[in-house]
Amino acid sequence: TTFKKVQTGIKNALNLPYSNGPLECLNNHIKVLKRNAYGFRNFYNFKLRITLCFGTVLFQSNRKT
């Protein structure tokens, strides 16, 4: 019965080129970084570390320099 419920989803997953693999990979890397970054003083430093690790700008900064 479970297979019959998700049969259309399985067909779509096999026929379409979409995947959530890259997003899951990014989530996993951020979770590992979060465990390692326990001692960061504030959330801004944590966001900066994520940006440095992945080489892209993921967040907009509200900070004035």
Q: Which residue has the higher pLDDT, 60 or 34?
A: 34
Q: Which domain holds residue 21?
A: 2-54
Summarised one tens digit per residue, pLDDT across range 2-56 is 999 999 988 988 998 888 888 888 888 888 888 777 777 788 877 887 788 777 6
Domain annotation covers residue 16: yes
| Calpha distance 63→61 (Å, rounded) | 5
Q: Examine residue 62 and state whether it is found in any structural domain, yes or no.
A: no
Phi first, then psi: give them for residue 62, nearest 5 degrees: -100, 0
* Model pLDDT, residue 60: 54
| pLDDT at residue 38, as a whole number | 72
Domain membership of residue 43 (yes or no) is yes
Report yes or no: 33 and 53 within 8 Å, Cβ to Cβ.
Answer: yes
According to DSSP, residue 63 is labeled: -
What pLDDT, on the 0 to 100 scale, is given for residue 62?
A: 57
Predicted TM-score (pTM) of this structure: 0.52
Q: What is the CB-side half-sphere exposure of residue 51 using CA atoms within 13 A?
A: 11
